[in-house]
């Protein structure tokens, strides 16, 4: 070997996770193994997605999920794999999936751990049959209740309390991107050796944004502020603003991943088509929190148009929120337009947003009003 030739070290995801663990001498290794379990689940799902057209796993499964959406066979496969990778390890106290209405409990004959896992097994599943990028989204909270098994309280924590989150994108190659609050790192699956190799260390969103991503087919339902914001992105509203390119494939992971690497903003706004549902379609606990944490760690920002996604106090497992995420200055600009032009929408959305905080206040008041028991 030529001594003058230097090649970068080959760092697998297992090695990278372990080296991050070494920064914390008190770590037990449980959290490290949980992330490795997710990497293994991603490898299995990736194998099936690349063979989907050759096996009987394309198409509808003939059932609906808890949102009334038609489930795909690959949705159910991914959901099952992630569950089976984590149900017996003793590392998680409970799980929750976008495909299930409530908490997924750990079987009683297995031990439980100190973490709860939330996941969207296959985001963008409508793209499965047309061979377009799809993805898996996951996040991890630390269990704080005293019960051996995880509770809804453990699940419904603010995003600022996340200990890890990430996603896997299944496209021309398979990539796993994750953060534990120590930056964002991306790993590409080498199919020849079956390992995720560090390919994108310390990802930062480029300061000069290139793209905006949204489903512009629904513009007729958008609020005035959001419409004006899009005109600003296009260089029509305001002076001297260079138009941005528009890219949208209908897979949140795919659109977010592009903008993470190239710079830009992804958004799915709220609307007033149905004033009882002003909150859009993105799931706070299964999609928004996880990707918001990644965006923040990459130097970006995620908002519901009002404030930080990571600061929202959740009130239900399948709560939905509007979302704007990517380059900070673009997201802040969206907030500015919404504040200036969307007071009607805010009057309907804010009560929904505040439900979690109001429930906390009620619980606190009830606790304080209880009479002290005599000894």
pLDDT in tens, 256-292: 999 999 999 999 999 999 999 999 999 999 999 999 9
Average pLDDT over residues 289-318: 98
99, 304, 262, 246: CA torsion to nearest 10 = 90
The angle formed by the CA atoms of residues 321, 322 and 326, to the nearest 5 degrees, is 120
- Of 17-21, 84-88, 361-365, highest mean pLDDT: 84-88
Residue position matching structure tokens 């099936």:
48
Distance CA 79, CA 99 (A): 7
- Give the pLDDT confidence score for residue 7 in this predicted structure: 62
- Give the pLDDT confidence score for residue 57 in this predicted structure: 45
Where do the domains of the chain lie, and which CATH numbers do they carry?
13-200 (3.30.540.10), 211-359 (3.40.190.80)
Confidence of residue 364 (pLDDT cuts 50, 70, 90): low
Confidence of residue 374 (pLDDT cuts 50, 70, 90): very low
pLDDT in tens, 23-34: 877 777 888 999
Asked if residue 3 has pLDDT above 70, the reply is: no
Asked if residue 372 has pLDDT above 90, the reply is: no
Average pLDDT over residues 157-181: 96
Cβ neighbours for 318, distance < 8 A, ≥ 6 positions apart: 66, 67, 98, 101, 283, 285, 286
pLDDT in tens, 195-216: 999 999 999 999 999 999 999 9
Asked if residue 54 has pLDDT above 70, the reply is: no
Q: Are 76 and 67 in contact (CB under 8 A)?
A: no
Asked if residue 368 has pLDDT above 70, the reply is: no
- Give the pLDDT confidence score for residue 224 in this predicted structure: 97
Confidence of residue 132 (pLDDT cuts 50, 70, 90): confident
Confidence of residue 52 (pLDDT cuts 50, 70, 90): low
Q: Are 287 and 265 in contact (CB under 8 A)?
A: no
Here the tokens at position 123 are 């985001």
- Give the pLDDT confidence score for residue 157 in this predicted structure: 98
- The CA–CA distances, whole Å, from 318 to 126, 155, 172 equal 20, 11, 31
pLDDT in tens, 216-227: 999 999 999 999
Q: Are 68 and 23 in contact (CB under 8 A)?
A: no
Asked if residue 361 has pLDDT above 70, the reply is: no
Least confident range from 142-146, 234-238, 327-331: namely 234-238
What's the pTM value of the predicted model, to 2 decimals? 0.90
- Give the pLDDT confidence score for residue 370 in this predicted structure: 58
pLDDT cut 70: percent of the chain above it: 87
Asked if residue 58 has pLDDT above 50, the reply is: no
Asked if residue 61 has pLDDT above 50, the reply is: no
Mean pLDDT of the chain: 89
């Amino acid at each position: 070997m030529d001594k003058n030739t230097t090649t970068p070290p080959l760092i697998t995801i297992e090695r990278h996770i372990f080296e991050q663990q070494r920064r914390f001498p008190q770590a037990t290794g449980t959290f490290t193994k949980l992330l490795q379990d997710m990497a293994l689940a991603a490898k299995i799902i990736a194998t099936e997605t690349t063979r989907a057209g050759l096996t009987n796993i394309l198409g509808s499964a003939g059932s609906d999920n808890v949102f009334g959406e038609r489930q795909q066979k690959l949705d159910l496969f991914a959901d099952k794999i992630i569950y089976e990778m984590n149900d017996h390890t003793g590392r998680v106290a409970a799980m929750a999936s976008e495909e299930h209405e409530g908490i997924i409990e750990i079987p009683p004959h297995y031990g439980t751990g100190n973490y709860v896992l939330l996941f969207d097994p296959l985001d963008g599943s409508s793209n499965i049959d047309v061979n377009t990028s799809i993805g898996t989204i996951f996040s991890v909270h630390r269990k704080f209740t005293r019960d051996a098994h995880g509770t809804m309280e453990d699940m419904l924590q603010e995003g600022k309390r996340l200990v890890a989150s990430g996603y896997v994108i299944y496209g021309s190659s398979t990539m796993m991107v994750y953060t534990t609050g120590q930056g964002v790192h991306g790993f590409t699956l080498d199919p020849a050796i079956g390992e995720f190799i560090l390919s994108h260390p310390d990802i930062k969103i480029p300061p000069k944004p290139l793209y905006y991503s949204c489903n512009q087919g629904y513009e007729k339902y958008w609020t005035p502020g959001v419409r004006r914001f899009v005109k600003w992105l296009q260089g029509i509203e305001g002076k001297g603003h260079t138009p941005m390119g528009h890219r949208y494939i209908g897979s949140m992971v795919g659109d977010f991943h592009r903008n993470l690497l190239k710079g830009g903003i992804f958004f799915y706004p709220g609307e007033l088509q149905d004033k009882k549902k002003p909150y859009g379609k993105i799931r706070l606990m299964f999609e928004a929190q996880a990707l918001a944490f990644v965006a923040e760690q990459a130097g970006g920002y995620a908002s519901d148009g009002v404030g930080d996604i990571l600061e929202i106090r959740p009130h239900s497992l399948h709560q939905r929120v509007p979302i704007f995420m990517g380059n900070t200055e673009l997201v802040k600009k969206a907030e500015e337009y919404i504040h200036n032009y969307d007071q009607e929408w805010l009057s309907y959305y804010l009560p929904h947003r505040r439900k979690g905080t109001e429930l906390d206040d009620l619980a606190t008041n009830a606790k304080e009003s209880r009479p002290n028991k005599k000894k």
